[in-house]
Structure formats: structure tokens, C-alpha cells
Structure 1
Amino acid sequence: MSVTGWHQARRIAREAGRPLPPAEVPLDRAAGSALATPLVALSPLPAYDAAAMDGFAVAGTGPWRITGRVLAGDPHPPAPLSPGEAMEIGTGALVPAGAAAVLPYEQSTRTGRTVSGAFAPGRHIRRRGEDCPAGQEVLPAGTVVTSVVLGLAASLGHDTLTVHRRPRVATVVTGAELCRAGIPAAGQVRDAIGPMLPGLIRAAGAEPASQTRVTDDPTALVDALLRPDAEVLVVCGATSAGAADHLRGALDTLAARVAVRGVACRPGHPQLFAVLPDGRFVVGLPGNPYAALVAALTLLFPLLGRLAGRAAPPALTATLAGPVTAHDRDTRLVPVTRIGSLARPAGHDRPGSLWGAAGADALAVVPPGHAGGEVELLALPAGDLVTAADRRPGQVAGVPVSR
């Protein structure tokens, strides 16, 4: 059986999809989606000349005669100031026309209706549009809508955002040996992939649609693949060539086009990528938990990111700070933690254990024959909703990474 190189497999998965159609949604429904159009300022920021300190708006040279007071949110604009006049002002209030600066309370001396003090022209006034003019493009299409992006959009006058619909993902967990609760009996194993998948799916920019569990029954697997409620089907287990592995036969039964029949990586070698005749995608993950995580980052994340309209993340690199034995033919995926500018192997990276990955920041992509130096990093999701994709490019777990 021919296998696909690790980098090529990721390219195949990403290039197979197209972003789902855009929709205009309220801000409170946009989180986690990707912008389908650039974010443009509808309003300047600030929207008006605003006081940056509590104090006195002053015109001309002092001392100044106090003519009134203006606070943030006052419904009527303040009267203009003439030279020698001042107006008491609160932070965020509209600065009266004619004001040369805002003199903070702590730098002023007030005597009755007169105030004096020294100031620098323009000081403590935030001028209209100085942070961002109206019409300015502030974020490109493909940007993931985080909580910060929502706040920015609101500050620029947006009530809605045009985003790509998030793809729906149905999962099929296979294996008669799996138990879902408690301590497994002899001959059973606790299912670790089923609980892991919903968070991974959300982190990749998609929505979990359903989860089906089947035993090692080829007919039940075919039936599960016929579910119409998702653009992507993820099958856990059944990807190898053993007596209980029926995914390949099920794909043949459904006349699927299999683009990846295995990937040259360790762990995660028996992973699959296929397209059903109706255009739905099938991603096959190995049955070992860490191998399944590697396969999800290899095939599922690039596919879902593309369908969700997310911009492709830039390649990140770091220098390995501990011994890692490279494979002679396959790419190794090794959990690492960041320490300064280095990436230290976390250990505990056997295919059946998530221990090392659970405490890691990223997976180091160790190419065949690697003899030291920089390697590519894949950032690991930090949670169900706060994800690697929400981080700024060039960071792993919030730490800058060399490029």
C-alpha cells in the first residue's frame, strides 16, 4: 500500500475543500467563525475629540475662567471656548471647540471660578479618528473572530459581521472493546478519542453535529457514513488493515475517492482521507488516542480550516532542546513545551497515551533523518473555544516563536 508524505497529506486535505458560503450574523453569533470579508471601520476611532483625563479643557493662555462643565455622555455638545476660558471636563467627554489641551486636575490650581497651570498643546485630547479613520481596513478576510475581534468590531460601529458558516462534523467511533464510563474490564479500553473530538472540532473552526458509536460491523459503518447531517465525517478506528478494520471496505462500497491511504508519520500512520460521491469528506483516524490526535492535526485541521474560511496559519519553527530520535523514513510528531526560544520534548509520546500531549504547547514535526536544529511546530489547541487558531500568528501558547 502506498503512503503519502506528511506535508503532502496536509496539502491534499486543505486543497480539497472550499470555504463554505458567507452569512451576515449578529456579533454574539460570530465568535469562532472566520471573516468572509475584511473588517472595515464604519466609524472613526475615537468617534469625536475626547478628553483622555479628568480636568479642564483650556483655550489660550492661563489663568482661565471656568465657564461650565461637560461629562461623558452629556446629550448636548458643549459651547465653544474662547481664549482665556476653561471648562471642567470628565474622561471620555466631548472636548469643546477651541480647546488647546486638557489640563489634568493634579496639574492645576483652582481658585473659585479660575484655574491655572502649565500644559503642552494638544495634551490629553484624543482626536477624532487618530486611532483609526472611518473606511480603514483593520483585519483581513480569513481572520478568526475572537472575543477581542468582537470588541473591536463593536467599537468600529458594527452590529453584524459577514463570516463563513462553520462546517458541521459528524463522528463515528468504532470498536467493540470501548467502554464509555468507569474502569474498563479485562479486554476493554476506556474511550479517550470520543471525549477529545468535540473540542478538537471546535478548535479547528467547525461544529460537532453528532456522534455515532458502532461495533466492528461493516454494515453499521456504511450506514453511519450515509448520515446527511454534516459536511465532514470523522471515523475513529477501523483505519488499518486488520480483521476488525472496515473503513476501507466501507469507502469502496460507497464508491468514495480515497486521496490519502496512509501517511508516512509516526504515530498516526494508518490515517485516511476520502471524498464521497455527494461531496462530503471522510477523515479516518487511528484507534490509539495520541495517534488519533496526530492524524487530526495532519488531515482534519487543514480541511476544517479551509471549509471554515480561515487563513492558513504561517509555518512556525523552534529549536529542539532535547534528544529526539528521528525515524529513517517517516516524519515524527513529538509533543514539546516551550522554554524561552527552545522546544523541549515532553516525553510520554507513545501512540496509546495522551499524557505528553496534554501538558505540551505544540507538536514538533521531526523530518526523517533529522540531526538537530530547527523544526516546524504545530500549535496544540488550548481548549474547546479558546484555540490555537485564536492566537496571533507567530505564537505557541502565547509565547513568540521564531520563524
Structure 2
Amino acid sequence: MPGAGRGPAPRRELPGWETARAIAHRAARPLPPRRLPIDLALGHILAAPLTALTDLPAFDTSAMDGWAVAGPGPWRLTGDPTGVLAGGPAAPQLTDGEAVPIATGARVPAGATAVLRSEQGGVADGRLSGPNPEPGADVRPRGQECRTGTELLPARTPLTPAALGLAAAAGYDQLAVRPRPRAEVLVLGDELLFRGLPHDGRIRDALGPMTGPWLTALGAHTLVTRRLGDDAEALYEAVSTSRADLIVTTGSTAAGPVDHLRGVLRRLDAQLLVSGVAVRPGHPMLLAELPGGVPLVGLPGNPLAAVSALLTLAAPLLSALADRPTPEERRAQLAEAVRGHPTDTRLVPVRCPAPGEARPLSYAGPAMLRGIAAASALAVIPPGGAGAHTEVRLLDLPTA
């Protein structure tokens, strides 16, 4: 009898969670750099080292309000009674025994040997008296922080507010950066409602409001979220005409009667790089490369499974596109045991009430968002589970 004795079909081997993340990271190359004004560069990644265009400070400056003095005191006051102001003209050269009032940040006159702080000196009859400051006291010498040509920040540094301030001080008006990858979200499924309460077998769309902001938090510039239902032609047109650097779809990753994503990818001659991952939740996730080289990440339709796919596939892709450095791995000890899957990695929402501690949360099923909404990270649980006080890897979740 045909097929007798064959037993159940073997489980299709899926790539492990770490392997899938590595595939996703290799699937993208950094986007070409562009130049942005400093006030638009926040959060971008430096595409080239930041080297100083000037000495910092560019000239000897006063670190305090007081008097620029030459030699030992007492000193005879000279020059404009208002003194030397920040951004003002240079004062005449001082000779020994002379002093001039000076403001913080003002250029120290030639011949000055130190600055005497205002609280340390006193003036009477045009003469300044006070303790003799050490040579160079309260003077920031030219080039104290750096000299012209010094590398201040290496390429691939994220541009924080402090980094932008440093770039401005070093003489930059524009910076060469990796642009934020442009992402487009395509929400699939006729069963989804976009307002109001669930009814007649239809459910509210949780992924549309969540996916775009999540991609933004991961470093993308989310262009649009489009709701396509279960329309194969609309999906084909949306994917084939997209101008995004990354396309993310929600739902339709399985092989049901209205799951059109895989058929559309075959029609487009896309290369399927990941077709399922050995991770729970989210194992039906997929990653494809379109003929033009644009990656497409397919998120499963269940909310927590979709989050798992975002962190497994979309996060490393976006890091590669933006040339972001790999974040430092963070680990913590589980406050209690977590049951594992026999063969797959589990991603479990946890709260971290103290450094180095991870407390698993309830409501961690594939279709649930309640647990992850209260979580600060996902714990990576190896196959077979992890006992209490076991140290596990954490995936930090976006906070804004």
C-alpha cells in the first residue's frame, strides 16, 4: 500500500534565532552617505570620521570672570574699563604689572600670564590687588581640547546632542551621515478593523498602529502605513512600485487560502532568504530580497509574534542599512524559571526592576500584547528553558 510505514513527515529544519539575525544583517549594505545640516543630523550615523577643522579653543580664553594679569601684583588697571568681553575685540598687549578686566570665554590678551578670579581680587584707586595666581591659572590655552585635524569621533558614531555640539564647536555646518532607512508598512488581512470594537468575527488591527512607530524607534524613517486587506494585486503593485529601503508586511506569511505574500514574492522573482525561524513566538516570519536588492520582512499576524520578527529580522537589517554599530549585549538573571520550547528559542517579555534582574511577565502568548506593553526587554530563552537565577540575554525594547 503506497505510503505505508512512512510515519509522520519530518519537521522542516528552520534556521536558529541567531542564524536568522546574522542572515538579516548580511542581507543589507549601508546606504550611500549624504550631507545634512547639523540641525537635521540628530540620530543619524557618521559616515566618516569627524576631524577638527580648528583648534579648540581657537585662542587662549579666560575660564573665569576676573582680571587678566601680567606678572606678579599689585597690578595697574589698563584699557577699557568694561574690560575684555567674549566675542569682543582683542585687548592691547599687557606688560608686567598691568591687568585688565576679562569675562569668561573672552580672548586673553597677549602678555597675560594668568587670570585672577573676581572673588579673589579688589580694586582701589585704579590698582588691583590680590594673591599672585599660578602662571596659566584659569586660562584655557589654545588647542587644549584638540588641534586642527584631530579625529574627534570615528565613523559609525551615532550623532547625539553632545556630538552635534562638538561638531559645531569644531567648525562644521554640515555632516556626512548615513540616512535613516526609509520603511514602508503594508498591513494585510480582510479581517482587520481600523476603528471601533471587534464585531462579526473581525478584530482590531493592532499591528498597523504599532509597526511604523516601532521601526522608527529602531532607526527607520517610516514613510507610510498602507492597509491592503487580502488583495493579491494590490499587494503586488505596492511591493513592485515601492521606493522604500525596507518593506515590512504584517500577516499573510503562512500558506492559507488568502495568504498571498509568498505567491506575490514568487511572481516578483524575489529571493527567499529566511522562510521561518526556530523561535517562539514568530516562527512563520520571513525575509526576502526583491530583484532590486530591497529587503522585505514578513511579520506574522499575531502581535507578539510580529514583535519577535521585528527584533529578529528588521532590527539587524536596519542596523546594516544605517551602518550602526552592533549594540552591546546586555544580560540579566531570571527571577524565576521560564519554560522553554523543546527545539526553538523563546522570546519572553520581562521587566527589569533592578540592574541584572529580569522578572518574566504573564500574557506572553503569540496573540497577546499585554505582557510586552509592560515589559522593558525580551529575554532570550534557549531551547529547553532556563531555571531561576540563570543568566540570559536581553533585547531592550524601545521606550519612545
Deviation at 1:157, TM superposition (A): 0.6
Change (3 A) 1:366 1:100: farther
Q: Deviations over 1:341-384 (max 9, x none)?
A: 3233344322223333233332222222334532222222222x
Structure 1 counterpart of 2:208? 194
Q: Deviations over 1:72-113 (max 9, x none)?
A: 110x21122222221111111111122222211112222232
Matches of 2:246 and 2:77, distance apart in 1: 68
Per the alignment, residue 314 of structure 2 pairs with 300
Gaps of 5+ in 1: 384-403
Q: Does 1:280 align with 2:297?
A: no
> Which residue matches 2:5?
none
Query: Residues 77-88 of structure 1: matches in 2 within 5 Å?
Result: 77-88=90-101
CA deviations over 1:206-265 (Å, ceiling 9, x no partner): 222232212223333223221232122111011123333222222222221111111111
List aligned pairs for 1:258-269, cutoff 5 A: 258-269=272-283
Among candidates 89, 96, 103, match of residue 109 of structure 2: 96
Q: 1: CA distance between counterparts of 2:13 and 2:336?
A: 32
Q: Does 1:6 align with 2:17?
A: yes
Deviation of 1:162 after TM superposition, in Å, equals 0.7
Give the conservation status (yes or no) of the 8 Å contact 2:212–2:225: no
For 2:336 and 2:142, how far apart are their aligned partners in 1? 53
Structure 2 residue corresponding to 1:332, chosen from 328, 346, 349: 346
C-alpha distance in structure 2 between counterparts of 1:59 and 1:153, whole Å: 34
Which amino acid in the other structure matches residue 252 of structure 1? R
Match runs of 1:2-81 below 5 Å: 2-68=13-79, 69-74=83-88, 76-81=89-94
Mean CA deviation greater in 333-342 or 271-280: 333-342
Q: Which amino acid aligns with 1:360?
A: A
For the pair 1:342 / 2:349, whether they are aligned, the reply is: no
Q: Compute the TM-score of the two structures, normalised by the length of structure 1.
A: 0.89
1:289-335: CA deviation from partner (whole Å, max 9, x where unpaired): 22211211110111111112222223232223333223332111122
Q: Work out whether 1:220 is the aligned partner of 2:234.
A: yes
In terms of mean alpha carbon deviation, does 305-314 or 14-23 score higher? 305-314
TM-score of the pair, normalised by structure 2 = 0.90
Pick the aligned partner of 1:110 from 119, 123, 142: 123
What is the CA–CA distance in structure 2 between the aligned matches of 1:354 and 1:201, rounded to whole Å? 17
SS of residue matched to 1:283: strand
Q: Report whether the alignment pairs 1:351 with 2:366.
A: yes
Larger-gyration structure (1/2): 2
**2:184 and 2:246 in contact (8 A); partners too:** yes
Moved more, 14-23 or 194-203: 194-203
Question: Which is worse superposed, 146-155 or 233-242?
Answer: 146-155
The sequence identity of aligned pairs, in percent, is 50
Q: 1:98 to 1:341 in 2, by over 3 A?
A: farther
Distance in 2 (alpha carbons) for counterparts of 1:347 and 1:64: 75
User: Residue 321 and residue 100 in structure 1: after superposition, are their counterparts in 2 closer, same or farther (change >3 A)?
Assistant: farther
For 2:217 and 2:69, the matched residues in 1 are separated by: 52
Structure 1 position 17, deviation (Å)? 0.8
Please tell me whether the aligned partners of residues 2 and 261 of structure 1 are also in contact (alpha carbons under 8 angstroms): no
Aligned to 2:399: 382
Q: Give yes or no for contact 2:331–2:356 (8 Å, CA) kept in 1.
A: no
Q: Structure 1 pair 263/148, CA: closer, same or farther in 2 (3 Å)?
A: same
Aligned to 1:313: 327
- State which drifts further: 371-380 or 62-71: 371-380
CA RMSD of aligned residues (A): 1.9
Match of 1:122 among 136, 140, 151: 136
Q: 2:376 aligns with which of 339, 350, 361?
A: 361
Distance of 1:115 and 1:346 partners within structure 2 = 69
Note closer, same or farther for the CA distance 1:92–1:177 as it changes in structure 2 (3 Å cut): same
What residue is the counterpart of 2:303 in the other structure? 289
Output the amino acid matched with 2:393.
E
Shift of 1:200: 2.0
- How many residue pairs match? The answer is 382
Alpha-carbon deviation of 1:188?
2.1
Distance 2:69 2:162 in 1: 35
User: Deviations for 1:3-57, whole angstroms, at most 9, x for unmatched residues?
Assistant: 1110010100011111111122222232232111111111222222111111111
Instruction: State the partner residue of 1:401.
Output: none
1:260, 1:132 → 2: CA distance? 48
1:260 maps to a residue whose letter is V
AA paired with 2:40? R
What is the identity, as a one-letter code, of the residue corresponding to 2:69? V
Deviation at 1:121, TM superposition (A): 3.0
